[in-house]
Amino acid sequence: MTPAPFHLAGERVMLDPSGILFWPEAGLMAVADLHLEKGSAAAKRGGLVPPWDSRLTLDRLLPRIRAFQPKTLVALGDSFHDRGGPARLPAAEADRLRRIAAQMRLIWVLGNHDPVPPEGLPGEAMQELHMGPLSFRHESRGRTPPRSGEAAEICGHHHPKARIATRGGTVSRPCFIGTEQRLILPAFGCYTGGLDVLHPAIAALFPRGGRAFLLGADRLFSFALAEIRRQAA
């Protein structure tokens, strides 16, 4: 995979086609919206969903950890689909998380689906992480973009995706969306859906525009938000 550089508050970060962010200067990897144990949560309600999402999600995450070798891994909230997720997590997947925590600093940013620390698992739980000129949180603080000189925010929550017209037809893919002061990561979990970047909940966070980076198999595809709006008009 070929990551793409992106600048936030003067810091160079790398956006990976898998959907993770890596900050080389700090040795920090961030991933959003794992939604582990979403399958078992659906099964409890009678849903016919294969209960393998946690294994598949970690199967995707671990190779990127090996590739980037981070010192810190930040999970940007909604890491579990509900409060009972950690208790339902299969022993093999819990052991994988313990091995991750033994190798690096593991930070659980709390989200709306998982507002309490994951019981029985290692790592630090917090509402937000502030490091240098960057702030890591689950959900954006609001519609007003951070001003120049303020900490830029990196968040998840919205599961952004974008729709682009190509020669072969319309393509819809999860994406990063951001400016120099705000970046929203795509959802990483295998059973997560997406919200179009033109939806008011996302569009209101980027009143002056921005760029979307659609996830491809090995690279990202960058489009100005204005171009996506023009195609949709």
At 147, the pLDDT band (50, 70, 90 cuts) reads low
At 46, the pLDDT band (50, 70, 90 cuts) reads low
Mean pLDDT of 45-60: 84
At 167, the pLDDT band (50, 70, 90 cuts) reads confident
- Maximum distance among all Cα pairs of the chain, rounded to whole angstroms: 50
Residues 48/3, Cβ–Cβ less than 8 Å: no
| Rounded (5°) CA angle 213-164-231 | 115
pTM score of the predicted model: 0.94
210 pLDDT more than 70: yes
List beta partners, residue 22.
Answer: 14, 29
Phi-psi label, residue 143: left if phi above 0, alpha if psi -120 to 50, beta otherwise: alpha
pLDDT at 146: 60
> pLDDT tens across 83-109, in order?
999 999 999 999 999 999 999 999 999
Please give the Cα distance from 107 to 126 (Å, whole number): 7
What end-to-end distance do the CA atoms of the chain give, in Å? 33
| Rounded (5°) CA angle 160-65-121 | 85
> pLDDT tens across 169-203, in order?
788 999 999 999 999 999 999 989 899 999 999 99
For the chain, what is the HEC assignment? CCCEEEEECCEEEEECCCCCEEECCCCEEEEECCCECHHHHHHHCCCCCCCCHHHHHHHHHHHHHHHHCCCEEEEECCCECCCCHHHHCCHHHHHHHHHHHHHCEEEEECCCCCCCCCCCCCCEEECEEEECCEEEECCCCCCCCCCCCCCEEEECCCCEEEEEEECCEEEEEEEEEECCCEEECCECCCCCCCEECCCHHHHCCCCCCCEEEEECCCCEEEEEHHHHHHHHC
204 pLDDT more than 60: yes
The domain made up of 4-142+150-232 has a fold known as Purple Acid Phosphatase; chain A, domain 2 (3.60.21)
Q: CB-based contacts of 175: which residues, under 8 Å, 6+ apart?
A: 160, 161, 162, 186, 197, 212, 213, 214, 215
